[in-house]
Amino acid sequence: MKAQLEQLITMSKRPNITLQVLPFTAGGHVAMDGGFVVLGFESPDPDVIYLENQVGSLYLEEQSHVDRHNVVFNHLRAAALDPVQSRRLLSAEARDLR
């Protein structure tokens, strides 16, 4: 696990990667019902939401669904630690591991 945290820290320093941690201390959040991926494409192709669970996967293409998930994603980003604070938290956690 320590190596995984160190790899996340290393990758988070790349200019094309933004890593933010939502700590447990943040409590409940808007995405408690499950994870999702926003697949962003260059125009004219619209974004798509990818959902995966134990029995399969689903792609949501309807604009209202995409908009809803983008709002959820923005709320998560706002509640999460900023990238520098996130890296500090991961570094502290990695130091605590043997």
Instruction: Give per-residue pLDDT as tens, 40-94.
Output: 988 899 999 999 988 999 999 999 999 999 999 999 999 999 999 999 999 999 9
Say yes or no: 31 and 72 in one domain: yes
Say yes or no: 71 and 91 in one domain: no
Say yes or no: 57 and 70 in one domain: yes
Say yes or no: 33 and 54 in one domain: yes
Structural domain span for residue 92: 1-21+82-98
How many domains is the chain partitioned into structurally? 2
Q: Give the tens place of pLDDT for each residue, 13-41.
A: 999 999 999 999 888 888 888 899 999 98
Say yes or no: 48 and 58 in one domain: yes
Say yes or no: 53 and 36 in one domain: yes
The pLDDT value given to residue 17:
96
Strands (DSSP E) along 1-98, which ranges?
Answer: 37-39, 48-53, 56-60
Q: Could you tell me if 87 and 7 are in contact, meaning their C-beta atoms sit under 8 angstroms apart?
A: no
The pLDDT value given to residue 88:
96
Calpha distance 45→60 (Å, rounded): 14
Whether omega for the bond prior to residue 44 falls within 30 degrees of 0, making it cis, is yes
The pLDDT value given to residue 67:
96
**pTM metric for this prediction:** 0.81
